[in-house]
Amino acid sequence: MKKKKILLLCAGGTIACRPTENGLVPSLNGYEMLEHMNSMTATYDIVSKDLFSLDSSNIQPEHWQQAARRIFEELSTGEWDGLVMTHGTDTMAYTAAMLSYMLENPPVPVVLTGSQLPLEHALTDGYENLRCALAMASSGVPGVFVAFSHSVILGTRAVKTHSSQLHAFESINAPQVGTVTAAGLHLDREALSLLPKRDPHAPFTLRDELCDKVILIKLTPGIRPQVFSLLADAGFRGIVIEAFGSGGMAFLRRNLVDTVGQLTRRGVMVAAVSQCLYDGSDLSVYESGRLALSNGILQARDMTAEAAVTKMMWALAQDGDPKDLFLRNVAGEIAPETTP
């Protein structure tokens, strides 16, 4: 049987780190990483290429654009059966979500992975994560995914929930796309059904424009409404609010709802996600939420904060009404039953 041809695109992160006097620093290039993967090359035809070598805390919006353009360029050749991108774990969920929006109708799987321990560490989890990512990349299921700790997650549903445990990522408000067991990679069709139905004749399209004037703010009791006015005065075009519970925010004493409503009338896009990791926001339940809706605040429903903030950055730079685009299920970030 002919081996699946997989592109390994290397972007740094812990998996590529070596110890230095300044701490762990991404040092392994694609060739060196491939040398550590001899057992995997017996199963797949893997070609490695370098994108950048960064601690993922240094990943910026322009790096998302660079990655999307490179992936688009590579996959447009028709040469690859799948693509695996190694990436640091700290901002992997943001990158996976943004690539999910920027890469429309990808022809093959695009899978992000990394590790909690460097690949050259004696106890590294990097090999297992790479094996899981390669299995998903060769599955023939198009889309953007995160593969980690024997699990595969939609790119718009992954959240890093542990800073040091090897099981670092969870699929939030959606089942995992896949699980690796002794029987191999098992795909969950229910999770895949969250993705909008694909037109098999639709072209693979790069939509890499973004607006970086977007900020994520977590509410705390007593937060001053003036903070939001200052953000708008500073030129921010979008604000994602991590609100309380199902989307609550103060409307007495320090009237946050009224202040934010003034911003939406000035053209600032504002959306509410829940501070709770699970279940999402529903602004129709409580008085505070209904006041927020009447003041033009959008509800992100069951989107993660990572999916919502990157989507807002992306939506504000696209043609058409960014609010309509934000509320639409683009890449599995919103469960179909929660869309209006």
Q: Which residues are catalytic?
A: 14
285: tokens are 């339940």
192 Cβ partners below 8 Å, 6+ apart?
141, 143, 177
Nearest CA-CA partner of 13 in 232, 168, 156, 135: 168
Is residue 328 within 8 Å of 309, Cβ to Cβ? no
How far apart CA 16 and CA 23 sit, in angstroms, is 13
